[in-house]
Amino acid sequence: MTRQGPQPRAEAPALPVRWSEGTEPPATRVPPGACDCHHHIYDARFAFAAGATLRPGDASVDEYRALQRRLGTMRNVIVQPSSYGTDNRLLLESIGRFGGSARGVAVVDTEVTQAQLRALHQGGVRGIRFNLAPPGATTLAMVRPLAARIAPLGWHVQVNAPAALLLEARAVWANLPVPVVFDHLARLPQPGATRHAAFGMVCALLGQAKAYVKLSGFYNESAIGAPGYADAVRLAAAYAREAPQQVLWGSDWPHPTEQPDRIPDDADLLDAFADAVPDEAVRTQVLVDNPARLYQFS
């Protein structure tokens, strides 16, 4: 839902933040129309939600465009961060600045009106996010009623939650009138991610075309870490083999969960994705075709 007029934010980050390590381009060449399906924008003109856990410094549209030039991507999906709760004004403003090459995933609660949902759609929004790790403006109980309301718009539900919570709520994901998109490899713990019961659940939903999974946030659960994230690469490869038509890639820029001295190199992340999906035809499917279908790029 939207509100009128930006509100100044008093707090400032305690330390300057480098949003991406390195300046060299990735070894991976992406195809024309490649889409980064998961990144955020932060701007001090807009106030953080009360009780927001993540309060990073600014990460602007111009800075993200510089990242696009470095990676070679042409389309992008801006995901409303938990920091702003259900105030989607910055999201809509940012989508507009990309001139048709961006889509958005908003955060709303059950108080949202149909008029507000239509306005979000006109502004380029194509899904709603439930960030359940940690819980914030939305709850698991809101998923089904809101999914029913967004179904006529052709949107999807996106969820960020620990694998154990995803598994506990498996009946919810299996019975929605819209697709569900699992953030960040479905947050499966390492090591042994493919042996976790949630892996089988996600793969079953992928096979039924009821779900997508984002090959993003390789650093979140990795026990091996940078620069190769080999354990996350193996998990991403398993998803891509299981259902290449149901997977997406995202940078997760500007990596708001990471400490300033642990910001990953976005070129490394793209190359790690390429290691997981070495076949160029499949990579084009993941980077171009799947996002075009889900986010309604013309």
What positions carry a catalytic annotation?
A: 252
For residues 15 and 193, give the distance between their C-alpha atoms in angstroms, rounded to a whole number. Answer: 34
> Left, alpha or beta for 148 (phi > 0: left; psi -120 to 50: alpha)?
alpha
3-state SS of the chain? CCCCCCCCCCCCCCCCCCCCCCCCCCCCCCCCCCEEEEECCECCCCCCCCCCCCCCCCECHHHHHHHHHHHCCCEEEEECCHHHCCCCHHHHHHHHHCCCCEEEEECCCCCCCHHHHHHHHHCCEEEEEEEECCECCCCHHHHHHHHHHHHHHCCEEEEECCHHHHHHCHHHHCCCCCCEEECHHHHCCCCCHHHCHHHHHHHHHHHCCCEEEEECCHHHHCCCCCCCCHHHHHHHHHHHHHCHHHEEECCCECCCCCCHHHCCCHHHHHHHHHHHCCCHHHHHHHHHHHHHHHCCCC
